[in-house]
Amino acid sequence: MSVKKILILATLLSLYTACSSSYKKSAQTSERMQSESSTTQYDTPQTVKTMNSSTSRDKVSEVKVGRVEKDNTALNRNQELTAQTQSRGTRSDVEVTRLLRKRIMADDQLSTNAHNIKIITLKNSIILKGPVANLEEKTKIENFARSMNATKKIDNQLTY
């Protein structure tokens, strides 16, 4: 082999090694961050210390982190009424749920949690369950439900 080919192969090998080690580090960091975030849940604002090394001396500053919603999976277990209960309802119950969900999803000002609430319509009664960001969202969604003409009762179990 010529010297030129050897140099090209050596360059390619070093690039491959650098890329693969960089990929491994980013994958490990991503995995570590994901496991930390899945085990930590806050229901109040938290203070996080950050390091600023852009100056000649390292400076530690505190940053307020907003409220992180809790996972409400434990609350959903062993519930009497679930979305599957809806199958016992009439076609009009299903249609009310569909229209209410469509209206909630169309509102871009609502949080992701608000978009993902549980809506159960059974015997012309609407049950709203799940976390929302604040009282304003809770009230707004309840007003959407009240605007459905086919409902007699609304049970607002939304939490914030």
pLDDT, tens digit, for every residue of 48-57? 444 444 444 4
Same domain (yes/no): 50, 78: no
More confident residue, 32 or 12: 12
Distances (CA, A) of 149 to 26, 92, 96: 53, 11, 9
Q: Do 89 and 139 belong together in one domain? A: yes
Residues 35 and 48 in one domain: no
pLDDT in tens, 45-97: 444 444 444 444 444 444 444 454 556 566 555 566 666 666 777 888 889 99
pLDDT band at 9 (very low <50, low <70, confident <90, very high): confident
Which one of 31, 50, 68 terminates a domain? 68
Residues 36 and 47 in one domain: no
Task: Indicate if 118 and 140 belong to the same structural domain.
Answer: yes
Q: Does the reported pTM lie above 0.75? A: no
Mark whether 83 and 136 lie in a shared domain: yes
Q: How many domains does the chain have?
A: 3
Per DSSP, what are the bridge partners of residue 47? 64
Residues 114 and 147 in one domain: yes
Instruction: Tell whether 46 and 30 lie within a shared domain.
Output: no
* Domain carrying residue 31: 1-40
Phi and psi of 131, rounded to 5°? -85, 145
Q: Give the domain CATH number at 116.
A: 3.30.70
20 and 86 within one domain: no
Verify that 48 and 103 share a domain, yes or no: no
